[in-house]
Amino acid sequence: MVSEEEEGSGRYIVVKALEDGVVIMGLTRGKDTRSHHSERLDAGEVLVAQFTELTAAIKIRGKAEVMTDVGKVESGA
């Protein structure tokens, strides 16, 4: 179970892979930004990710549709 302190901003993104092999990487906060987690999606798969105290940024490699509370964008186009 995640505490309120660990949730960070609580903002979510949804990533829908538009091709096989899309990679999503969670990047850490702090002095040295580094990858702390990654997932690989195939076409049609969807990942819901949350920004937390640990996750400051999310990097997406490949063709995917990314939906946030501020809009929708396509990566790898």
Model confidence pLDDT, tens digit, residues 20-76: 999 999 988 878 878 888 999 999 999 999 888 888 889 999 999 999 999 999 998
**Domain residue limits at 38:** 4-75
User: What total number of domains does the chain contain?
Assistant: 1
Residue 5 host element (H or E): helix 4-7
Q: pLDDT band at residue 9, thresholds of 50, 70 and 90?
A: low
Return phi, psi of residue 5, to 5°.
-65, -35
CATH number at residue 31: 2.60.40.50
- Residue 69 contacts residue 11 (beta carbons within 8 Å): yes
Distance linking the first and last C-alpha atoms of the chain: 37
- Predicted confidence at residue 32, as pLDDT, reads 80
Cα–Cα distance list, 68 to 11, 34, 71 (Å): 8, 23, 5
Reported pTM: 0.79
